[in-house]
Amino acid sequence: MTANVIFYPIIVPLVTALALLVTPKKMKWGKEIVAIAGTALNLLLAIALFKSNIYFSAPWSGFGIDFSLKLYQFSSFIILAAAGFAFLITLYSTASLFNKDYAKPFYVYLALSLLMVNGAVLADNLVLMLFFWEGLLVTLFGMITIGNKHAFKTATKAFIIVGISDLFMMVGIALVAYLGGTITISQINLTTAGLGGLAFIFLIIGAISKAGSMPFHSWIPDAAIDAPLPFMAILPASLEKLLGIYFLARISLDMFELNVHSWASTTLMVVGAITILLAVMMALVQKDYKRLLSYHAISQVGYMILGIGTLVPVGIVGGLFHMINHAMYKSCLFLTGGSVEKQAGTTDLAKLGGIAKSMPVTFICFIIAAASISGVPPFNGFFSKELVYDGALERGMIFYVAAILGSFLTAASFLKLGHAAFLGKKQGNAEVKEAPMRMLIPMITIASLCVLFGLWNALPLNNLIQPILGKRLEGHNFSGLPTNALLVIATVVVLALALLNHIYGVKKTGKALKATDHIRYAPLLGHLYDMAEKRFFDPYNIGLDIVNFFAKIAAWFDRAIDWVYNILVVNAANLVTGLIKRLHTGNYGSYIIWSLASAAVILIFLIRAI
Amino acid sequence: MIPMENNCLLACVFVPVIGAFALPLIGRVSELARNLTALALVTVSLVTSLFLAPAAIAGHVISVSYSLPLGFNFILTADALAVFMAAASSLVGAIIVLYSFGYISHYNNRNEYYLMVTLFLGSMMGLVYSGNLIFMYLFWEITAIASWRLIGFFREKEYVLKADKAFLVTVFGALVMLLGFIYIYQVTGSFDLSAIKAAFKNNAIPDIAVALILIGILSKSATLPFHTWLPDAGVAPSPVTALLHAAVLVKIGVYVFARLFIATFTLSQIWHTVVPVIAGVSALVAAGAALVETDMKRIIAYSTVSQIGFILLGFAVSNEVGVVGALLYILMHGLAKGGLFLCAGIVEQNTKTKDITKMGGLIATMPVTAFSFLACALSVMGVPPFGGFFSKYLVFSGAATSGSIMITSIFLFGAFLTLIYLFRIFNMIFLGDPQKPPAKEGSGVMVLSVAMLAVLSIAGGILIKYPSDFVQTAVKQMMGI
C-alpha cells in the first residue's frame, strides 16, 4: 500500500458530500443511493486500513503546523467504529428521513462530519487536529438547525458551548507549542507542573466537552427534542463520544506524563463521578423517550472519564471499552426511539404504551441495549462497567460508590422507560406497525454486536482495546469473566434493588411513568428538581447571564467614553472659543498691544535660539 | 534596479490617485464607463502589487526615490510587508468597488463617490509603500479627508456631524503623531525610514515619541479610548463602511505600528505590556458593546474594534509567530469583515432598516446573502476551515509565547464574546420568524461580491500555505531574522 491511502478516509467522505450536492432533486432515491454508497465505501476502506501503520507529513503553515497524518492501532480502530456507525445510521435514515425535505442536507452534513472525525483522528499535529475537530462545529450547527423552525436556538446553544471549549483547546495548543516546542502529537511529552497544568486543563476542556460531559452538556437534551433523530444517534451518541474520549486518552496517556497521585487524575475522576450522578438524576425524571436517552448520553461519559482518570490499567481499559460499548448501545437506543417516533407518532411517554406486541423487533433491540447500558450480565456494558468499578475502587471507595449508585439509577430509569413505552396499556386507537426493514437492520446489527462484545469480550478487548495501551498493560489481560467476584455480587444486588425500586414505584402510583416519583418529589430533592427543570442550573444560562452583565458594564463604559467626545470636548471647545471671542472687542488699541506683545515674544525666542 | 518593477510601484500609487480626478469627468459622459474606470484603477493597484510579489518573496526590496530638500525625500519602498498589505487592501477594495455598482446606483453624488473611493485606495497604496515619514503622514491625511466626505455622503445634518467627529478624532491623532515624527527628526535629522533605522540600530526609540505616535495609531485604528467614531461612521453607505472598517482605514494604524515599531525601531520592554493591555481592554469593551447594540452596522463596527485588538496584540508581543498571526489576521479579517458589511448593506437596502430587532427569517428569501454572512462570521470567530482559524491560532500562539497568561486570558474571553455576538446578529437577522413581508435578495453584482468574499474566506483557510509562506518571508525581513 502506498502512503497516499492515508488520505482516502478524508477524500471519500468529501467526495460523497460533493456528489450529494450535485445529485439532482428529481432523481428518485438519488441522494439515498449516493449516501449509502459513500458510507459503505468508507466502511470498506476502514476495514482495509484497520491495523495498518502509515505516516505522512508535509509542511503546511509554518511554526510547526504540519499536515501530518498517522494511522496506527488506535486511530484505525476509531475510524473503523465511526465508519460502521455512519453506514448503519445512513441506512436507517433512508427510511426514517424519507420524504423529509431536510434529508439531503442531513446526508451532506453526515458525510462532512465523517470527514472531520476521520481527519481529527488521523492528525498527528495538534493544529491540524483542531482544524478538523473544530470543523465539526459547522456540521453540528447545520444538523441541529435543519430539525425544525426553532431548532436554530438549540443549534446556537450547541455551537457556543462547544465553540467556547474549542477556543480553550486552541489556547491550550498554543501553550503546548510554547512549553514543549512542538505540536506534533507523537513527540509531545509534558508534565502538569506550572503552565503545563493550565495547558492540560484547556486541552481536557476541549476533549470532555466534545464527549458531552458536564458542565458542557446542556445542549444535548435540547437537541434531542429539536434535531432530526438520526443526528442524536450519529453525533452525540457515537461519533463525538468516540472522538472526545479518543483525544482524552491521547492527552492523558500519551501527551502528558501523569501519575496516579497527580491532581490531574483526581480532577478527572471527580468530573467523571459528578457527571455520572447529576446527569442520571435528571434522566430519571424525564417524561420523553429521546430526552431521557440524551441525559444518559451525558451520564455514561462520566464512566469513561472516571475510568481513564483512574490511570490504573484496569480503569483505562474499562473506560475505553466503555467508550465503544456506549457508542453501540446508545445509538441503538436512539434508533429504537426513532422507530417508535416514526411508527407511533410521538416520543412523549405519557402517550405511549403497549406497543411491544406490535413492534417486537424494536422492543427486543431496546431490551438488549437497555440491559447493556444498565450493566446487566452478560451484555457488553456489564463487562466494561465492572472494569471501571475495579479501577475506581482501587483509587478510592467514594468513586466506586458514585459509579455503582449511577448504575442503580440507570437501571431504574430504563425500567421506567421500557415499561412506560412498550408495556402497559395501549394508548390511543391508532394502529402501530413494526418499523420498515431499513430501520430494523441497523438496530439488529448493533444489538447483536452488544451481545457479541459481551459474551465474547476477548474479541474487542484483545484486538481493539488492549493493543492501544501497549507497554502500559504488560502482563495484564482483562478479557473473560471479571476477576473480582465481590464486585459482581454487588452489581447484581444493586440491579435487583433497582427492580424492587421500580416495582415499589409502580405499585405506589399505579403508573409506570410515575415509577420514579418517590425520588422526584422526595423532600429537598424535589425542590432541587424544580429548580433544575426551570433551568436554574444550566451552565449555559448562567454563563450568558454573566456575559450579559459584563456587556452592560462594557457598553456603559463605552457610552461614557463617547460622552467625552460628544459632550465634554464640544462644551470645552465652546467655552474656550467663547472666552477668546470676548477678547475680540473691536478696540483698535488693544489689537495693537497684542501684536506688539506677540512680536516681542517671537523676538526673544529668536534671540535665545541664536 | 529593475525599471519595470519601479514603474509598477509608481503606477500602483499614482494611477489611482491621479486617475481618481478623471472619474467625475468620465461620469458626465457615461455612468458605466466611470464605474468600469474606477474598478480598473483599483485593479491596477492590485495587479501591480501582485506583480511585485515574486520579487518581494525572493527578498528583494524595490525602491524608488526622488531627492527633495530638508530630508523630505520622496521614497517608495516595496518590501514583502508593504506588498502584502497593498495586495490585501486592494483585493478587498476591488470587490467593494464592484459591489458599489449595484449599491450606489440609486443615490445622488455618484461622481464624488467614485472619486473619493478611488482616491482613498490610491493614497492607501501611497501610505503603505511610503519610505518617508512625512509622505506617510501626507497620505494618511488624504485618507482622512476622503473618508470624511464619504461618511457624510448622505448629507443629512446628523450624518455630517458624525463625519466631522470621525475626521476630528483621526486628525487630532494624526497631528499628535506628527509631533512624534518631528521628535524623531530632531534626534536623527531625517524622515527617511532607512536612515532612522540605522540611527536607532542599537538603542530603543525614546518613549515619548512612541507614546505620541501610538496615539495616532490608536485613533486611526479605532482602539479604545479613540474608537467611538467608528460605530458612528456606520451612517455611511455600506460599501464605504466596509471599506473604512474592514479593508483599509482601520488597518492603516496597525500597519504603521508594524512598519515603525517592528520593522524600523525597537521598542523598550514596557510597551510589550502596555499595548497588549490597551488592546485587550479595547477588545473586551467593544465586544460588550456589540452585544448590547441593536443597529447591525454598529454591531459589526464594534466587532471590528474588538478584532483590531487581536491584531494589535499579535504585533505588540513582537515575537515571530505573533507578528505572522497579526498579518494573516489583517488579511482574513479584511475579507471576512468586508463580507459582513456588504451583506449588512444588502439587508439594509432591501429591508429599509438597520435595527436587528425588526428583522428575522431572511434566510428564506436571501439565501446567498445569509450563507455568505455566516461564512464570514465563522471566519471572524476563527472556526475552521475558514481563514480566520489560522490567524486566531497564531495570534494566541504569539501571546502564549510571550508568556503572559493574564493577557492571553483576556483575549480568550474576547474570543468567547465574538462567538456570542456574531451568533446573536446572525440569528436575529436571518433566522426565526419573519417580522415583515419578506425582502428580496440583493442585485446580481452585489450578491456576487459577497459570495466572492465568502469563498475567499474559505480559500484562505484551505490554501493557508500560500499567504502564510508569504507572510513568513515578510516577517523574517521585518525582524531581520
Model pLDDT for residues B335-345, shown as the tens digit of each residue: 898 889 889 88
Give me the residues of chain A with pLDDT under 50, please.
none
Is the CB of B405 inside 8 Å of chain A's CB atoms?
Answer: yes
- What pLDDT sits at residue B411? 92
Q: Per residue in B373-415, pLDDT tens?
A: 999 999 999 998 898 999 999 999 999 888 888 889 999 999 9
Cβ contact, residue pair A557, B285, below 8 Å: yes
Is the CB of A43 inside 8 Å of chain B's CB atoms?
Answer: no
CA torsion sign for B363, A133, A87, A327 is negative
The percentage of residues in chain B with a pLDDT greater than 90, rounded to a whole number, is 33
Is the CB of A573 inside 8 Å of chain B's CB atoms?
Answer: no
Phi, then psi, of A577 in degrees rounded to 5: -65, -35
Of B51-60, B64-73, B92-101, B307-316, give the lowest mean pLDDT range: B64-73
Q: Tell which B residues from 162 to 181 touch A, by Cβ distance under 8 Å.
A: 165, 169
Is the CB of B465 inside 8 Å of chain A's CB atoms?
Answer: yes
Chain A nearest-CA residue for B411? A171
What's the mean per-residue pLDDT of chain B?
Answer: 87
Cβ contact, residue pair B412, A566, below 8 Å: no
Cβ contact, residue pair B288, A170, below 8 Å: no
What's the complex ipTM?
0.90
- The distance from CA A457 to its chain's CA centroid, rounded to whole angstroms, is 26
Is the CB of A109 inside 8 Å of chain B's CB atoms?
Answer: no
Q: How far is it, in rounded angstroms, from Cα A400 to Cα A387? A: 11
Q: Per residue in A106-160, pLDDT tens?
A: 889 999 999 999 999 999 888 999 999 998 989 989 888 888 888 888 899 999 9
Is the CB of A131 inside 8 Å of chain B's CB atoms?
Answer: yes
Q: Pick from A63, A127, A163: which is nearest to B419 by CB? A: A163
Q: Per residue in B292-321, pLDDT tens?
A: 998 888 899 899 999 999 999 999 888 889
Q: Which residues of A touch B420 (CB under 8 A)?
A: 160, 544, 547
Cβ contact, residue pair B400, A177, below 8 Å: yes
Domain boundaries, chain A: 3-538, 542-609
The minimum CA-CA distance between B264 and chain A, rounded to whole Å, is 24
Q: How far is it, in rounded angstroms, from Cα A159 to Cα B279? A: 27
Helix axes of B444-462 and B388-401: crossing angle, nearest 10 degrees? 40
Q: Tell which A residues from 176 to 195 touch B, by Cβ distance under 8 Å.
A: 177-178, 195
Is the CB of B393 inside 8 Å of chain A's CB atoms?
Answer: yes
B272 has a pLDDT exceeding 60:
yes
More confident residue, B478 or B177: B177
How far is residue A151 from each of residues A148, A491, A540, measured CA to CA in Å? 5, 40, 16
Nearest to B137 by CA among B191, B57, B58: B191
Cβ contact, residue pair A565, B165, below 8 Å: yes
Q: Tell which B residues from 256 to 295 touch A, by Cβ distance under 8 Å.
A: 284-289, 291-293
Per the CB < 8 A criterion, the answer to whether A412 and A502 are in contact is: yes
> Which residues have C-beta within 8 Å of that of residue B315, sequence separation ≥ 6?
B254, B257, B258, B261, B262, B275, B322, B323, B326
Is the CB of A173 inside 8 Å of chain B's CB atoms?
Answer: yes
Q: How far is it, in rounded angstroms, from Cα B405 to Cα A264? A: 20
The minimum CA-CA distance between A131 and chain B, rounded to whole Å, is 5
Q: How far is it, in rounded angstroms, from Cα B90 to Cα B96? A: 9
Q: How far is it, in rounded angstroms, from Cα A217 to Cα A215? A: 6
Is the CB of B431 inside 8 Å of chain A's CB atoms?
Answer: yes
Cβ contact, residue pair A63, B394, below 8 Å: yes
pTM of the model as a whole: 0.90
Cβ contact, residue pair A152, B432, below 8 Å: yes
Q: Per residue in B426-463, pLDDT tens?
A: 988 888 887 777 777 777 888 888 899 899 999 988 88
Domain boundaries, chain B: 270-481
Q: Per residue in B192-230, pLDDT tens?
A: 888 888 888 777 788 898 999 999 999 988 888 888 888
Cβ contact, residue pair B401, A177, below 8 Å: yes
- What pLDDT sits at residue A117? 92
Is the CB of A134 inside 8 Å of chain B's CB atoms?
Answer: yes
- What pLDDT sits at residue A58? 85
Cβ contact, residue pair A138, B378, below 8 Å: yes
Q: How far is it, in rounded angstroms, from Cα A419 to Cα A427? A: 13
Q: Which residues of A touch B229 (CB under 8 A)?
A: 565
- What pLDDT sits at residue B420? 92
Q: Tell which B residues from 364 to 383 touch A, by Cβ distance under 8 Å.
A: 378, 381-383
pLDDT confidence tier of residue B247, bands split at 50, 70 and 90 = low
- What pLDDT sits at residue B214? 92
